[in-house]
Amino acid sequence: MKIIDAKPLVNFHLELLFDNGESGTVDLSSLAGHGVFEAWNMPESFQSVAVTDEGAVRWPGDIDLCPDSLYLQMTGKRPDELFPALHNRMSHA
């Protein structure tokens, strides 16, 4: 799962487009101001989001977020829905 486009919106929201054609918005406001995400306190920092060659989102200062976790947040799906092997492991436990 890769992100192919990311647009910063107000209040630490990102509009995302994934390589499977799904798109939507994620709310990252709970991260803002904490740890490395303190950099987002400067508005231009959050606005400078970019998509990496690996399909993740990245900001200056080596801040990046995993596309899989953003996809799960955006769609509301469970990890075993995205990764069927997890479902198989969990059902055999």
| Domains recognised in the chain with CATH numbers | 3-91 (3.30.2020.10)
The pTM for the full model equals: 0.85
- pLDDT tens readout for residues 53-85: 999 999 998 899 999 999 999 999 888 877 776
Residues 93 and 66: their CA atoms lie apart, in Å, by 27
- pLDDT tens readout for residues 34-60: 999 999 998 799 999 999 999 999 999
14: tokens are 């990102």
61: tokens are 């200062």
| Residue listed under structure tokens 């996809």 | 71
Measured CA distances, 53 to 13, 16, 72, 79, 93 (Å): 22, 15, 20, 23, 36
Identify any residues that bridge with 50 across adjacent strands, giving them in sequence order: 58
Say what the pLDDT of residue 21 is.
Answer: 95
State the Cα torsion 77-54-35-39 to the nearest 10°.
-120
